[in-house]
């Protein structure tokens, strides 16, 4: 048995709460939040929402046309409403908290939980907006969205190339590309041996599947070509797409470095599943 405590410092790099700072300049390379910690924070909140839906706990409310999860996050209201017959998905952050609406029309009719799970990355997108609001504060957020198009559906290039949306779409795609790695790390740090072994297997599989940046980028791009976000790839301009890819390269290198270091530590400690994987 591996001593999980010994590799906690490595595994936590992809799950640490983010200590983010604000800036008057929007999402420059210097002032942009660190991507993996920012994603970890968005994922934590997303999982809280999804767990409430799965368990239908005290934070879960049922209405005729919607299902709502409502809890306190940082002392403020965090409300996510899944509209069964809705098509729009958006976030409204404010000083009181945030309200997120997720439209589910046409998604696995009659299978609410499956529809919500399918919308996980869209939820990450909207949670990213909420975290950016928190990071900037009201005054700086208003400055950041001053040039935001009032009607995104009729001003698509301006909408999809706005820094606020570029950041949210990046986190959305990154969540999709690193989801298997996140699951692997959670299982390795779990209390059940079978889950831990499955986590080692998934960690090794992630390393093999993402051994080049082109493979990693292909997964991110796939997320940006699904129905909910296909218009992004159709409207993002060439300079922003190049910045997007450079940013993705940095995250890929960091995630792969952390994952490889964790796997190497497993090998050094004689983990049977890790040794079996490299012998295959």
Kindly provide the b/e burial profile for residues 174-210, where b requires at least 16 CB atoms within 10 angstroms of the residue's own CB: bbbbbbbbbbbbbbbbeeeeeebbbbbbbbbebbeeb
Cα 49 to Cα 127, 149, 151, 152, distances in angstroms: 11, 29, 28, 26
Q: How do residues 70-95 score in pLDDT, each as one tens digit? A: 999 999 999 999 999 998 899 999 99
* C-alpha span between 78 and 70 (Å, rounded): 6
Dihedral sign, CA of 160, 166, 172, 176?
positive
Cβ contacts of 6-13, under 8 Å, gap ≥ 24: 6/265, 6/269, 7/188, 7/262, 7/265, 7/266, 8/189, 10/258, 10/261, 10/262, 10/265, 11/185, 11/188, 11/189, 11/262, 13/258
The pLDDT value recorded for residue 279 is 84
Q: Which of 76-80, 158-162, 189-193 has the highest mean pLDDT?
A: 76-80
- Residue 223's CB is within 10 A of a number of other CB atoms, namely 19
Q: How do residues 145-154 score in pLDDT, each as one tens digit? A: 888 887 776 7
Question: Up-side HSE of residue 48: CA atoms within 13 Å toward CB?
Answer: 17
The pLDDT value recorded for residue 197 is 93
Q: How do residues 90-113 score in pLDDT, each as one tens digit? A: 999 999 999 999 999 876 666 899
């Amino acid at each position: 048995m591996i001593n999980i405590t010994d590799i906690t410092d490595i595994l936590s790099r992809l799950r640490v709460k983010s200590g983010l700072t604000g800036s008057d300049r929007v999402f420059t390379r210097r002032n942009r939040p660190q991507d993996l910690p920012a994603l970890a924070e968005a994922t934590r909140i997303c999982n809280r929402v999804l767990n409430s839906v799965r368990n239908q706990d005290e934070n879960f409310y049922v209405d005729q046309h919607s299902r709502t999860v409502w809890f306190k996050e940082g002392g403020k209201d965090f409300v996510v409403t899944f509209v069964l017959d809705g098509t729009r998905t958006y976030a409204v952050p404010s000083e009181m908290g945030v309200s997120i609406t997720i439209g589910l029309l046409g998604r696995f009719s009659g299978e609410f939980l499956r529809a919500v799970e399918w919308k996980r990355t869209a939820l990450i997108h909207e949670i990213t907006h909420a975290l950016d609001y928190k990071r900037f504060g009201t005054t700086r957020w208003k400055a950041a969205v001053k040039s935001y198009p009032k009607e995104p559906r009729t001003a698509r290039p301006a909408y999809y190339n706005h820094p606020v949306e570029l950041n949210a779409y990046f986190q959305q795609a990154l969540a999709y590309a690193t989801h298997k790695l996140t699951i692997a790390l959670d299982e390795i740090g779990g209390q059940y041996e079978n889950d831990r072994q499955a986590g080692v297997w998934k960690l090794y599989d992630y390393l093999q599947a993402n051994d080049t940046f082109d493979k990693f980028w292909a997964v991110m791009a796939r997320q940006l070509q699904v129905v909910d976000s296909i218009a992004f790839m159709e409207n993002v301009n060439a300079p922003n797409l190049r910045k997007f890819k450079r940013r993705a390269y940095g995250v890929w290198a960091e995630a792969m470095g952390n994952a490889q270091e964790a796997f190497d530590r497993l090998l050094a400690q004689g983990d049977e599943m890790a040794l079996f994987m490299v012998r295959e």
